[in-house]
Amino acid sequence: MIIRRDIWPKCFKDAIVTGFVLVIIPLIYYFELFVVMPRYYKQWSLVYNFHFLMGTFILYNLCGNLVAIIMCDTSIKGRVLSSELLPNWRFCTVCETVAPPRSWHCNTCNVCILKRDHHCMFTSCCIGHENHRFFLVFVFYMFAATVYASYYNISFVWDYLSFGSWTSVFKLILPLATLFLEWTQSQLYIFFVIIVVLGGAFTGGLLWFHTDLMLKGLVTHERGKKSKYDNGQNLNIQVVLGEKWYLVWLSPWIESKLPCDGINWDNFVSGKIK
C-alpha cells in the first residue's frame, strides 16, 4: 500500500464534512456509553461492560478504517504504467499520462484514481482500488453503530420529548437550529439522537448501494451496465475486500491481498479469469 502524503481536504466543503465526521464519532461514542447506557445498566456491571466492549470495538473499526481510507493512496502516482495507449486505456490530458482501464480523473483530487468509485467528502479523498475495502467496512460499522445506538436511544430520548406545542415539534424537526437558540442538555441529547437516526438511514442506503455494486463487479461509474470484470460474486468480493474478506471485518490492519493490482485489468474477463 502506498501512503498518501497530502491528506488535507482540497475544498471547503470536504473540510467541513470531514471535520464534522471526526468530531461527531467520538462525541456519539461518549454519549452512548456514558450518558445513555447508564440509564439502562449499572455502570461497570457485567452487562454494561459487554456493551462498553462492543461500543469500543465498533469505535476501533470506525477510526481504523477511516484512517486507512484517508492514508491509502489509490491514485496512479508512483505506479509503473505503460507508455503505450493499450486497448481500453486512455490518455488523461490533465495528468499527461496514459491511464489504465477503470481509472477516472478526479477534479477535486486532481489526479486519476485506480478503479475509481467516487470522491467521498466524508473522508476528503477518492475511493478507489486499494481503499475500497476500508470504505465498505467503515460504512458497515457506521450502519451497525447507528442501529445499535438507536435501539436504546428511542426510549431514552422519549423522556425529553413533549408534543404540547409547536415549539416542541420544532425542537424535534430542527434540533441543530434549536440548539443554537436554546442551549440545554435535553436539546443536545435530542440533537445527538436525531443525528444517529439520520446517520443510520443514510449509511444503510450507502451500504446497500455499494454492496450491490460489489457483488456485480461494478463501481459507481459503471452502474447500469454489465461489467466486463464480473467473475462471479466470490471473486467480485475478493476484488474489493481481498483474499481474507471474511477477516477484514475484525480489524482494518489485517492484511488481505487483492487479486488484481488495479492496473492490468486485461486479465479479468466477464465470467472467467484468463
Annotated catalytic residue 95: no
Task: Please report, in angstroms and rounded to a whole number, the separation of the first and last CA atoms in the chain.
Answer: 25
241: which residues sit within 8 A by CB, 6+ positions away? 133, 136, 137, 248, 256
Q: How many C-beta neighbours within 10 Å does residue 255 have? A: 10
Cell numbers for 147, please give them: 442501529
5/161 Cα distance (integer angstroms): 47
Backbone phi and psi for residue 239, each to the nearest 5 degrees, phi listed first = -60, -30
Report which of 106, 84, 60, 93 is spatially closest to residue 266, judged by C-alpha positions: 84
Amino acid at 194: I
Report which of 219, 9, 54, 195 is spatially closest to residue 135, judged by C-alpha positions: 219
Amino acid at 253: W
150/148 Cα distance (integer angstroms): 6
163/122 Cα distance (integer angstroms): 34
Local structure of 72: helix, strand or coil = strand
State the catalytic residue, choosing from 72, 120, 125, 260.
120
Catalytic residues: 120
